Structure 1
Amino acid sequence: MSPTPAVPELRPLAMGEMIDRAATFWRAHLKPLFVMSFGFSLVNYIVTKVAMLTTQRLAPLLYTGDAQSRGQMDPTQLMGQAGVAMALWGVLFVFLFWSYWLATMTASKYVVSVHLGEPVGPADALRRAFSRVVPMTGAYVISMGWSTLVTVLCLVPGALFGGLAFAAAVNGSNVMGAALGIIAALLAGLGAIAAMLWYFLRFMLLPPVMATEDVGAWEAFRRSGALLSGRVEPGFLGRVVVRAMILYTVMSLILISVQLVSQIPSWVVMAQYGSPFDAATMSRTPQYVLVPVELLQVFVQAGLTPIYFVFCSLFYLDMRVRREALDLERRMEAPPASPQAA
């Protein structure tokens, strides 16, 4: 099957070529990708805004005064409100990740279908995603449980050094306790970063699998892990996990840069009422001023975030081409070309 502009060629891609093709596809299909992404981005913004306003209402001590005045508050009341805030933000965190999976699955259906020569519209991609929401939620629950175990294991070294720091402080060795405490904090931070990176890499291909293959939650969990295991080329860079880590890092840097740039207008607005990095400033800033710039941020992110969804879909296709000869399979299934008229 010869490649056409509407049907990109299926073949193994080099790492740089994959990023270039993701950007090219994103530019060529910006409108449908934006349409699919904007709805999820808007819902995420609304839910986040409601959670933030609810937290400000239920835990006002966290959003008023400076650090010195907070230190003079009733510790019991302050800790209680902090617990309520952590619970609300924990629920928000779980929802946002679930929504991210659903958005990735929707875009993956669109991107993969175009590459397989069977393009679908945004509405069809959304219908496919919502028809698979139950098994996707099951796979999401499995991933959260698995990641919780990995996170605990990654935090063990920091916890051990934290225990040693506490023991040293109790025994009167303040210098040793402080040194061990710093080491514990560094190990805990690195462990948390490692756990988060592991989560995104391990389940990077699960939404495309759910979008394009009729498998259940556990089968999708195993299938995505199998596609990311082993190696596809000789050498260190031939390991799939290494390739995925390098490409994911590049894409993450792009998205983080976009996120920071898109937040500049809200920082400028909040700067009129205090430091934009202080929680109290956010509560002091009038919502009629803050909401318009935040909606602008949502608009920008909805246009640029799909490039990551495209990358995940291309990586999924690349793994199937390299491991399962998907390109040859599609060529064999293609109808024979009609003979040229004399």
Structure 2
Amino acid sequence: MNESPGWASPGSAPSDGDKPGVPRPAEPTDQSDAASKWSKEQPPAAQWTAPSGQNAPSGPPQQQPAPNWGGRPQGGGWGGPPPAAKPGVIPLRPLGVGEILDGAVSTLRAHWRTVLGITVTVAVISQICDILVQRYLMPAPAELDPNATAAEAIDQSLDAMRSSLVSSAPTFAITLIGTLFTTALLTMVISRSVLGRPVTLADAWREARPRLPQLLALTLLLPLMAAAIMTVGILPGALLGGGVGITLSLLTGTAAFVVVLWLMIRFSLASPALMLERQSVMKSLSRSAKLVSGAWWRIFGITLLTIVLTFIVSMIIAVPFGLIAYAADDGLGGLLSGRTPEFGWPFLIITGIGAVIAASITYPISAGVSVLLYIDQRIRREALDLELARAAGIPGYGPEQAPDTASGS
């Protein structure tokens, strides 16, 4: 072990080569060299016995090995690999999709005081800021003329889109800052829960605080990178204007979106690498790219599944609170009439409560899946399970490591 909280030295990551201390298969020897080492005096070749028993060699029959000797046991006993150690929320071996999701939920259950203390605090502060922004800073939605021509309707739609993007910037900034703190703190909680060790909110903050500036830079860099790529893709068609410009924007925008999606998955493990390995921003991006290499579709599928599940959970919570908010503010009759409601304080407060409850559940799951994907990739590529077992003090894996070294303080 070393001083790195990621259980491996950042300068000797086995993605760049073989990891010292991890058993590797022996290199094949050259046949000509091997042949030269045989003795010239060899015993006679053994006789082959026909399946029917003809031409059987004389002499006492040879003793056959007992069934399952050295093989997989039937109902327990000898043979077979031992079960993987599980000091915390996951077994220390390559993980399946269900085990990754279960590990994220198990972290929420095992450390619910710390996890809810983080998520509820961040969600409440974020929602208060968001309510104030929506109440006092958000401009009124643009009115669309139903009698406008096709060209005028397109221009009005573009104006409404630009206005919506500008007005959503404060909300996006608030969400970004909230995600920053939850990601930093929950990463430390999950890293300790893998080892089966307790962690408090003060412990998580003390370990995460030195990495917050780098995490902020990474959190800002990825959206800016995505926005720049999308701008390059959409801008030519937007400047051209008209029907041809819209068609061009759709084509180039779709291509830009594919590029952004590929990059976001490729860099999706950068945040855990930055926090747990104490990497710089650029090195954490490179580290994530190496870990994701060859497993892009698997990580994309697990990430997409997590997004869908958290979206469903959010909708299950948000829809009832939204209906209650409509009834308390404008009445359900206003919703059914089709006119645009004017939201007041009751609506904003009730929907804010629903958003806090949803965030308290979905934030830990999203962060847990991200960190466990990072750990899973390192187990698959770098035998991190051996380091984790040593850090957890499991017998048979070497001397027990100091708690500070394993947990990242």
Q: 1:20 to 1:42 in 2, by over 3 A?
A: same
Shift of 1:4: 4.7
Shift of 1:115: 0.9
The partner residue of 2:345 within 260, 268, 287 is 287
Distance (Å, rounded) in 2 between the aligned partners of 1:34 and 1:334: 25
Q: How does 1:1-342 map to 2 (within 5 A)?
A: 3-4=85-86, 6=88, 8-56=90-138, 59-60=139-140, 62=141, 68=146, 86-152=165-231, 155=233, 159-160=236-237, 163=240, 166=242, 181=246, 183-184=247-248, 186-187=250-251, 190-191=254-255, 194=258, 197-198=261-262, 200-229=264-293, 231=294, 240-268=295-323, 269-270=325-326, 272=332, 274-275=334-335, 280-281=340-341, 284-332=342-390, 337=395
Question: Residues 68-115 of structure 1, C-alpha deviation per residue, up to 9 Å, x if partnerless?
Answer: 5999xxxxxxx9998676434224324422431331221111111221
Question: Residues 202-255 of structure 1, C-alpha deviation per residue, up to 9 Å, x if partnerless?
Answer: 3322222232122222222222222222x2xxxxxxxx1101110011111111
Shift of 1:43: 2.1
Distance (Å, rounded) in 2 between the aligned partners of 1:301 and 1:123: 21
Q: Which amino acid aligns with 2:375?
A: L
Distance (Å, rounded) in 1 between the aligned partners of 2:128 and 2:394: 51
Q: 1:145 to 1:304 in 2, by over 3 A?
A: closer
So what's the TM-score if we normalise by structure 2? Answer: 0.62
Question: Residues 178-214 of structure 1, C-alpha deviation per residue, up to 9 Å, x if partnerless?
Answer: xx84x55654664575466446423322222232122
Distance (Å, rounded) in 1 between the aligned partners of 2:335 and 2:314: 19
Bigger helix share: 1
Q: 1:290 to 1:144 in 2, by over 3 A?
A: closer
Q: 1:242 to 1:89 in 2, by over 3 A?
A: same
Q: Which amino acid aligns with 2:175?
A: L
Q: Is the 8 A contact 1:108 1:310 kept in 2?
A: yes
Pairs aligned (count): 304
Q: Is the 8 A contact 2:215 2:281 kept in 1?
A: yes
Q: Which amino acid aligns with 1:214?
A: R
Q: Which amino acid aligns with 1:261?
A: I
Question: Residues 6-62 of structure 1, C-alpha deviation per residue, up to 9 Å, x if partnerless?
Answer: 464321112343234333443444443222211221122122212212334xx34x2
Distance (Å, rounded) in 2 between the aligned partners of 1:228 and 1:219: 14
Q: Which amino acid aligns with 1:327?
A: D
Distance (Å, rounded) in 2 between the aligned partners of 1:262 and 1:146: 32
Distance (Å, rounded) in 2 between the aligned partners of 1:127 and 1:278: 51
Equivalence for 1:172: none
Q: Which amino acid aligns with 1:104?
A: T
Distance (Å, rounded) in 1 between the aligned partners of 2:377 and 2:136: 44
Distance (Å, rounded) in 2 between the aligned partners of 1:336 and 1:85: 55
Q: Is the 8 A contact 2:101 2:365 kept in 1?
A: no
Give the secondary-structure state (helix, strand or coil) at the position aligned to 1:26: helix
Equivalence for 1:234: none
Q: Is the 8 A contact 1:109 1:208 kept in 2?
A: no
Give the secondary-structure state (helix, strand or coil) at the position aligned to 2:361: helix
Distance (Å, rounded) in 2 between the aligned partners of 1:114 and 1:272: 45
Question: Residues 258-282 of structure 1, C-alpha deviation per residue, up to 9 Å, x if partnerless?
Answer: 222222134323263634998942x
Q: Which amino acid aligns with 2:186?
A: A
Q: Which amino acid aligns with 1:219?
A: K
Distance (Å, rounded) in 2 between the aligned partners of 1:44 and 1:277: 32
Larger Rg computed on CA atoms: 2
Q: 1:213 to 1:119 in 2, by over 3 A?
A: farther
Distance (Å, rounded) in 1 between the aligned partners of 2:230 and 2:136: 28
Question: Kindly, what percent of the aligned residue pairs are identical?
Answer: 21
Q: 1:252 to 1:279 in 2, by over 3 A?
A: farther
Give the secondary-structure state (helix, strand or coil) at the position aligned to 1:102: helix
What residue ranges of structure 1 are gaps of 5+ in the alignment? 72-78, 170-176, 232-239
| CA-based RMSD | 4.0
Q: 1:279 to 1:185 in 2, by over 3 A?
A: farther
Q: Which amino acid aligns with 1:128?
A: E
1-10 vs 318-327, which moves further: 1-10
